[in-house]
Amino acid sequence: MKKKFSTRRNLILLIVGIIILGLCGYYLYARSFAVLPDVSISLMQDIHRPGANDRVLIISPHPDDETIACAGYIERAVENKSKIKVVLVTDGNRRGFGPERHTEFKETLKILGVGEENLTFLELPEFYLKEKISSDQLKNILETEIKNFSPTVLFYPDSSDENPDHKFIGEVTGSIVAKDNIENYAYLVHFPYFPQPVGLRTEYNLTPPVKLVDFSHHWQKFMLEQSEEDKKLEALSVYKTQLRTPLLHNLLMSMVRQNELFSAK
């Protein structure tokens, strides 16, 4: 009887072990093959380079998204005498750090060369914005900002982003630019196992998730000079409210790569 019980127990342990190994294997596989390989960057086209005649508008859901996604482009645009405007959609106050994050936002963009007079604060509530304002209301607000600035180049969050605010703002902005003749690019911040590898790995390129290599995304790159990478890291380091959270710290540091990544729309 004891032998029979021992055999059954060993069989259960074996099954559990196989399941655990399988899950670990899937996790490692998902991480390893979650994004396109680094060499794929050579197959991507370059996005529009900012010039003196450009008017660059960046729509940022939260304080930090503009720097995570576009710091290098912002710095190059400033250097090339483009006019720049950054629209901060939410108040960033979900965790009660709104005022502190606003200060970080201003300081960060000052490092990148954008003065406070070129910043707009819409002060909409952070997180699940879709439940607090309708698509039509947000569309009217963003249409006004776009019309008043008349950008030649527009950056906004990708609607495939898994953060609910990014997704909502991306969908609404996408519906606006679909009928306008504006050079526009969507950027991705929140997506499973993106970017890879995790951490400050400036020798790597930023490549898109395999799951988003589809007909709705035309991935393009903006290659950064070493000085622009360094300035991006300096700028992101100002966001202490984000860096104190391990997951957000890893995300911010992981976005400092040899390029910035956008989907041309």
Q: Is the pLDDT of residue 15 over 60?
A: no
The strand ranges marked E within the chain are 45-46, 55-60, 83-90, 119-124, 153-157, 183-187, 219-223, 259-264
For residue 190, pLDDT over 50 is answered with: yes
User: How many CB atoms within 10 Å of residue 3?
Assistant: 7
pLDDT confidence of residue 4: 52
> What is the tens place of the pLDDT at every residue in 169-180?
999 999 999 878
pTM: 0.88
Arch. (CATH architecture) of 50-264: 3-Layer(aba) Sandwich (3.40)
Please provide the average confidence, as pLDDT, over all residues in the chain: 90
Kindly tell me the burial class for residue 103, based on how many C-beta atoms sit within 10 Å of its own C-beta (0-12, 13-18, 19 or more). Answer: middle
Domain assignments of the chain as residue spans, ordered by start: 50-264
Inform me whether the pLDDT recorded for 29 exceeds 50. no
Element at 18 (helix H, strand E): helix 2-32
Query: 4 vs 9, 10, 11, 13, 15, CA distance in Å?
Result: 9, 10, 11, 14, 17
pLDDT (0 to 100) of residue 178:
86
Query: Which tops the pLDDT comparison, 35 or 29?
Result: 35
| Top-confidence residue, 232 or 16 | 232
pLDDT at 13: 46
Which of these ranges, 173-187, 200-214, 228-242, has the smallest mean pLDDT? Answer: 173-187
- Which amino acid, residue 214? D
Write out pLDDT tens, residues 109-133: 999 999 999 999 999 999 999 999 9
Residue 190 · residue 16 · CB < 8 Å: no
For 69-91, write each residue's pLDDT tens digit: 999 999 999 999 999 999 999 99
Residue found by looking up tokens 């607000």 in the block: 141
Whether 45 contacts 150, CB under 8 Å: no
Choose between 61 and 22: higher pLDDT: 61
